Structure 1
Amino acid sequence: MSKLSVESVFITGTSKGVGRGLVKGFLELPNPPKNVFASCIDPDNDEAVELRDVASHNPSVTLVKLDVRSDADIANAVTTVQRVLGQRGLNLLINYAAINSQLHGLESLTRADIMSHCDCNVAGPLLVSQAMLPLLRKASKQNETQPLGCNRAAIVNMSTGLVKSKFSLPGERRFSYVLTKAAAAIATVMMSRELSPDGILVAGMCPGWVKTDMG
């Protein structure tokens, strides 16, 4: 099995929690990426203080303003990646950004809550992946001697253990979060089938239970 040796990675939702941890993890690899794009809704706000500190000590890190619910932000993010990478293409996209309003039970649901989760947790990773696809295809082409995997070109959609065969653990009542994560898991399978002929791996990953604002 080849070791993880990714030349470039773009991660959404990196201002805190698992997203920020992923940025640090890549930087600590024996062979860290030449370019780490750490995106979040606002790299200049108080929530991103630690992320800015990481970037200030690591010239390989580029902070990117990206709200995955904004088409304009997505387009600007692609422009930034293209400017930094030039003709090299993007090796790995990690769609981590998500929301979880923590509303519990059927009676607490609102249309606004359901739709906001759909926009961020389903449309967000799909449209970010769509926008980055030309860059991923370029990396796949340039590394076509590599086997299918993250070292060549890949999309990883961060999932959750709540998405089981029964779609929810006993007692779980966060409808908006669990249902949109289930939809995202189905989208991951569909993306995998469509993009594998291009030499692009698509996979879902659950980080396990992590003590963050979400959990």
Structure 2
Amino acid sequence: SNMGELCVCSILVTGANRDLGLGLIQHFRRMPKPPQWIFAGCRDPKGQRAQVLQNLASKHPNLVIIALEVDNLASIKAAAAKVGEHVGGSGLNLLINNAGMVKSKMLDAETLEDMTKTYTTNTAGPLLMSQ
């Protein structure tokens, strides 16, 4: 079978409030047979940058917005518990590690703190999420 026929019951997309993540959420919603559960993970689900996502979720009860910081183990565990409340023993079928960050700076303006945060989010985040 081809990828077009891939059938999943539950999907979690990290960084789902804008750009590619939001596009993926919209794509899954429009599928002829959408997943039973679509989980949209983002840092600030009630914030201004999640407005489009909030509007979508208000119209689609199977779209669940979850507070999620991929560089924070406690946040990941809380998000996993929330997903578990919906999917029960069947578990999550598909995880899309989309969350990422970049702070565009010139080399001489870069700080260790920002570089560490970027590395933790973009590199360690997918590892922690997958575990």
Q: TM-score, normalised by structure 2?
A: 0.93
- Cα RMSD for the two superposed structures: 1.1
The one-letter code matched in structure 2 to 1:117 is T
1:114-125 aligned at under 5 Å gives the runs 114-125=115-126
Please state if 1:74 is matched with 2:76: yes
User: Structure 1 residue 114: deviation in Å?
Assistant: 1.4
The one-letter code matched in structure 2 to 1:58 is H
Matched residue count: 129
The one-letter code matched in structure 1 to 2:61 is P
Can you give the 5+ residue segments of structure 2 that lack an aligned partner in the other structure? none
Residue matched to 1:102: 104
User: Structure 1 residue 96: deviation in Å?
Assistant: 0.5
After the TM superposition, list the runs of 4 or more consecutive aligned residues in structure 1 that deviate by more than 2 angstroms. Answer: 106-109
Provide the rounded CA distance (Å) in 2 between the counterparts of 1:37 and 1:123: 21
Provide the rounded CA distance (Å) in 1 between the counterparts of 2:88 and 2:28: 21
Say which structure is richer in helix: 2
Q: Give percent identity, aligned residues only.
A: 37
Residue matched to 1:91: 93
The one-letter code matched in structure 2 to 1:86 is G
Residue matched to 1:129: 130
- 1:87-123 CA distance string (max 9 Å, x none): 111110000000010123x333221121011110011
Provide the rounded CA distance (Å) in 2 between the counterparts of 1:22 and 1:86: 24
Q: TM-score, normalised by structure 1?
A: 0.58
Residue matched to 1:112: 113
Provide the rounded CA distance (Å) in 1 between the counterparts of 2:115 and 2:45: 27
Q: Which has the higher contact order (CA 8 A, sep 6+)?
A: 2
Residue matched to 1:21: 23
Provide the rounded CA distance (Å) in 2 between the counterparts of 1:27 and 1:95: 18
Can you give the 5+ residue segments of structure 1 that lack an aligned partner in the other structure? 131-215
